[in-house]
Amino acid sequence: MRPRFRYTIQPLALLGLVTALAHSSCAPRPAHEPARPAPPVADALPPDDATAHHSFDDVAKWTKVFDDPARDEWQKPRELVAALSLQPGMRVADLGAGTGYFSRYLAAAVGSDGTVYAVDTEPNLVAHLRERAEQEHTANVVPILASADNPRLPLASIDLILIVDTYHHIDARRAYFGRLRRSLTREGRVAIVDWHKHDLPVGPPASHKLAREQVVDEMRAAGYALVDEPAVLPYQYVLIFRPR
């Protein structure tokens, strides 16, 4: 799931706003009105805002990217899922499931008595997730159309939430993950897989990446503790958290 909806000011509205401000700044100030200090200049992005916003409505395009067979060499889906210590019967959420690259691996790990919630905010991808589940005969995969600020997961029922290559797409992460705690079971965990913040032969540019330390700090601020960090991937960190 890649929350990426942002509000923008249309050009004509922006022009009117600038014109109004210009006229107000030129108007004489009454003698009794004290000069107001200039307001502080806000940062372009909040410190926990997304570093990248993309459209993911073109399923054919993103299938070529996310399901490229060469991805297996560095994403290591079997090894990663094995490192999550999943058990049959568990309920897992693949948050930012995209085209469903991890779906069959997670479905096999939790078995027919378990459930995999494949969550994304893009309707076209969610439809694709359903079609893929039917083609791969993974009846325990349940696609979910999420909101940008709400994954629409059932309360107090998820044993693990897996977030691969998606954390840096989420806006207002501390608030988002603070709310996400309500979906976890008492022993529930959140596993975040994202890119090391330096140049790599694969992945997004460095400006889109978040340093491991920033992720840990943000998750601590949201009420989580880092409980494990399996070293299974060459280009990405794997951070596993539990609510404190």
Output the domain CATH number for residue 113.
3.40.50.150
101, 71 in Cβ contact below 8 A? yes
213, two tokens:
């330390």
User: Does residue 12 fall inside a structural domain?
Assistant: no
User: Does residue 20 fall inside a structural domain?
Assistant: no
User: Does residue 123 fall inside a structural domain?
Assistant: yes
Mean pLDDT, range 77-95, rounded to an integer:
98
Predicted pLDDT of residue 53: 72
Amino acid at 139: A
Q: Would you state the torsion angle of the CA atoms of residues 137, 142, 147, 151, taken in this order, to the nearest 10 degrees? A: -120
User: Does residue 27 fall inside a structural domain?
Assistant: no
Mean pLDDT, range 17-40, rounded to an integer:
39
pTM for the structure as a whole: 0.79
pLDDT exceeds cutoff 50 at 15: no
Instruction: Report the alpha-carbon distance of residue 215 to residue 219 in Å, rounded.
Output: 6
Mean pLDDT, range 180-190, rounded to an integer:
97
Strand-pairing partners, residue 192, are 163, 239
Q: Which of 34-48, 103-117, 131-145, 167-181 is least confident?
A: 34-48
Q: Which of 48-52, 123-127, 141-145, 189-193 is least confident?
A: 48-52
Predicted pLDDT of residue 25: 39
Could you tell me the residue range of the domain that residue 137 belongs to?
A: 59-243
Q: Which long-range contacts (CB under 8 A, 24 or more apart) does 105-112 make?
A: 105/77, 105/78, 105/81, 106/81, 106/141, 106/162, 107/136, 107/138, 107/140, 107/141, 109/81, 109/82, 109/84, 110/86, 110/140, 111/140, 112/139, 112/140
User: Does residue 102 fall inside a structural domain?
Assistant: yes
78, 29 in Cβ contact below 8 A? no
User: Does residue 34 fall inside a structural domain?
Assistant: no
232, two tokens:
């299974």
pLDDT exceeds cutoff 90 at 24: no
pLDDT, the chain, mean: 84
Predicted pLDDT of residue 31: 41
Mean pLDDT, range 56-79, rounded to an integer:
90
User: Does residue 142 fall inside a structural domain?
Assistant: yes
Q: Which of 16-30, 61-75, 180-194, 211-225 is least confident?
A: 16-30
Predicted pLDDT of residue 51: 76
66, 99 in Cβ contact below 8 A? yes
167, 210 in Cβ contact below 8 A? yes
Look at the chain and report how many structural domains it folds into: 1
pLDDT exceeds cutoff 70 at 45: no
pLDDT band at 159 (very low <50, low <70, confident <90, very high): very high
User: Does residue 117 fall inside a structural domain?
Assistant: yes
Instruction: Report the alpha-carbon distance of residue 199 to residue 117 in Å, rounded.
Output: 32
Instruction: Give the total residue count for the chain.
Output: 244
Mean pLDDT, range 18-25, rounded to an integer:
38
Predicted pLDDT of residue 59: 85
Residue closest to 49 by CA, chosen among 224, 218, 199: 218
